[in-house]
Structure 1
Amino acid sequence: MILSTTPTLEGKPIQQYMGIVTAETIIGANVIKDIFAGLRDFFGGRSGTYERVLQEAKDYAMQELMEKARLAGANAVVGVDLDFETIGANGSMLMVIASGTAVRI
């Protein structure tokens, strides 16, 4: 499955548009991660813990996006867009939304 943020794939003409596909993932950050992230904020530097959670959420959303496109009969998704939001009490959860157009090339 080819994923691209561009609306076309160079050298690969789109034969058929299968429709818009979306995937959502919500992951909670626990208290231990919050404590370590708070220490990192206090002392400075990157928060590896939150970066891993963010990467995990993005990976889940992209996997789901590919699966939905495959079920629609597509072999590529163009125009992929990722949106990130915090939700829940005090922004305790991370939501990643992936969307794009499923196509057959």
Structure 2
Amino acid sequence: MAKCAECGTNLGAFSTYGPGGTLCKSCNKTRLGGKEKAQTKQALNEQIEAVLLTTETAPNLNITDRIEIVTAECAFGMNMFKDLFASIRDIVGGRSEAVQKTLRDSRRTALYELKKEAHKVGANAVVGVDLDYVELSGAGNMVLLVASGTAVIFESKEATL
């Protein structure tokens, strides 16, 4: 019976993984960086969590350094069915939840990307955040969302924000 090249456990006929089928499932997962990669991504997301403000100041923030302007862009398109249903809603009236969901998802993505950009330059907050929507095509099926703001370093005057 074959054994895992890493840990030495017995391998069954259908439990071989990795290059040449020489690893067990858990050793192959470790080799691919499954658990460590997920933990690293979670740690990065926690570090990226920055304060976002649409104003320049807040009563409980003491801005110590203004670093630079940061921007994030998110281009998104409506698929054919969303376009079709949006066109029908245009005629009969009412809200298009599919379009609203796409806009909401793109806004969340753009704001997360803005936080990532601020983190890259060493900031822990972005102030003066502005969102701009731009139609990229005449048909209205492609929209660009641009998020911008000033990356800053702040010290909290209180323990909680």
TM-score (norm 1): 0.94
Which whole-Å CA distance do the structure 2 matches of 1:74 and 1:24 have between them?
19
Q: Which has the higher strand share?
A: 1
Q: What residue number does 1:44 align with?
A: 93
Q: Which has the larger displacement, 74-83 or 51-60?
A: 51-60
Higher relative contact order (CA 8 A, sep 6+): 1
Identity between Structure 1 and Structure 2 (%): 44
- Structure 2 spans left out of the alignment, 5+ residues: 1-49, 155-161
Q: What residue number does 2:139 align with?
A: 90
- Structure 1 spans left out of the alignment, 5+ residues: none
Say whether the 8 Å CA contact 1:54–1:94 is kept in structure 2.
Answer: no
Q: What residue number does 1:64 align with?
A: 113
Tell me which structure has the larger Cα radius of gyration.
2
> In structure 1, what residue type is equivalent to 2:150?
T
TM-score (norm 2): 0.63
How many residue pairs were aligned?
A: 105
CA RMSD, 1 decimal: 1.0
Matched, 1:53 2:130: no
Which whole-Å CA distance do the structure 2 matches of 1:63 and 1:41 have between them?
31
